[in-house]
Structure 1
């Protein structure tokens, strides 16, 4: 799909606030509500807009620590990647699971209440998963989000 400047402007606006209505988008960009709705529908049907998300403040819910965990599987031949992925995605504190190339097989984003809570998650949940070998933890100090679409 070829995107024009208005499409890009819509994507920027929706990435800042996914709750904007077609009427609000139309007013912002000088078009009618039906024209704005058709443009959003076209972006959605083409797969460029792939859904809406709500951002939850983890700290407000008591999750003050985010850890990025590199996981190297010890027994790739005996434990399937699907077994590991199925088990790790069942852990609620694991927010993201990325299968990657490099030193580690997986990178996980884990949220915890504090460091002792993370230690509990690591010892009782992560290290008991099928095939887990080496792990490396990186505690997030701060996060900067680059606003806007690609």
Structure 2
């Protein structure tokens, strides 16, 4: 199972996703407070866009060639998919900061967040995303108080 053992039952998977979404919400506020505040201003909930990120491990957001590269990295991680994926999602959110802040209503934000322009992404873009995720991992993994409010 790619979910770190949480797929045994649907209930376990659901609560794993809820925990990950809650963590991403905290990370969103920590990693990019301006994005977090902007989304709150337009009443965009992380559940409305990031559940798909967690549940499908970004497979619907990235072209297959990028998904394979991303998942290869997940397989190489000592903690596996579930741990590093949260950092990747936080980095993915930060990657779209400018585009998110350019949106001025709920509908525009949701259209963007559910249809991110990654169709032409390749190895270089995924490598940059993974580098940012590693930076976040090493900045926050051993210092959980940095992201508590």
Q: TM-score, normalised by structure 1?
A: 0.24
Higher strand proportion (structure 1 or 2): 1
**TM-score normalised by length of structure 2:** 0.24
Higher helix share: 2
Mark the structure with the bigger radius of gyration: 1
